[in-house]
Structure 1
Amino acid sequence: MNDKDQADLDRFTNNLEKNADSSPMKMVSFTDLFTPLFMSKYTQFANFGELLTFGKFNINSFQEFLALLNEDFDEFIKKTTKFKSWEEMQSTAVSNYFKKNEASK
């Protein structure tokens, strides 16, 4: 991933986190969910930004990311990860995140 792609991903995740701060439920950042360990275990990518770059998904806002969540994105996830869908990937990441946090208490 080049520096521009990383900057775009950082801007995108910062926007997600800002939206999460205004939500009644606290969201966990993509960086915390899709750690390098998670990504290397379940995908062929080093991080979530590489996944988006490889799929040619140009995401700069939360709304653009939500618009991306469709059958085509599920198919991409199915082909390039160990998951059958985005929902399964996201659920596994959330579960791993909470298990890790519980273990560290």
Structure 2
Amino acid sequence: MKITGLNDLEKQLKRITENIKKQVDGEVKFEELFNADFMSANTSFSNITEFFDNSPFQIKTQEDFESIDESKLDEYVLEYTKFKSWTEMKQAAGAIYVKKKLNQ
């Protein structure tokens, strides 16, 4: 008896694993991770660019972003989002992103 569908399942699992690995490795764009639906539902802003443009931080480069005092970013997140910290916001966005990828 030949079982069909296992090759397709294996391919799908491999694709899902690769997508999750990309997300973990930071290959997902901020705009994709913090998409308009996520931002509108969870923040005072319609997109991630608006979120940072209205912040007290001057962000022009990746280095600028990486040099932000995370406690100050946490304060900003607490004031303008449904989250208590930047870490919590990233985790929520990541969970939604992965769930959507799993359902594709």
Q: TM-score, normalised by structure 1?
A: 0.72
* Corresponding residue of 2:44: 44
Q: Partner amino acid for 1:96? A: I
- Count of aligned residue pairs for this structure pair: 81
- Equivalence for 1:81: 81
CA distance, structure 1, for counterparts of residue 102 and residue 67 of structure 2: 33
How many angstroms apart in 1 are the aligned matches of 2:40 and 2:33?
A: 13
Residue type at the aligned position of 2:43: T
Q: Secondary structure at the match of 1:68?
A: coil
Instruction: Find out whether 1:53 has 2:90 as its counterpart.
Output: no
One-letter amino acid matched to 2:32: D
Q: CA deviation at 1:26?
A: 4.8
- Which residue in the other structure is 1:4 paired with? none
| Structure 2: stretches of 5+ with no match in the other structure | 1-21
Deviation at residue 91 of structure 1 after TM alignment:
0.6
Tell me which amino acid in the other structure corresponds to 1:87.
T
Any residues of structure 2 matched to 1:1-105 within 5 Å, and which? 25-104=25-104
CA displacement at 1:74 relative to structure 2: 0.4
Large movers: runs of 4+ above 2 Å: none
RMSD over equivalenced CA pairs, Å: 1.5
TM-score (norm 2): 0.72
Identity of aligned residues (%): 35
SS at match of 1:44: coil
Distance apart, 1:63 and its partner CA = 1.2
Cα-to-partner distance string for 1:35-80 (whole Å, 9 max, x where unaligned):
0000001001010111111113221111110111421110000010
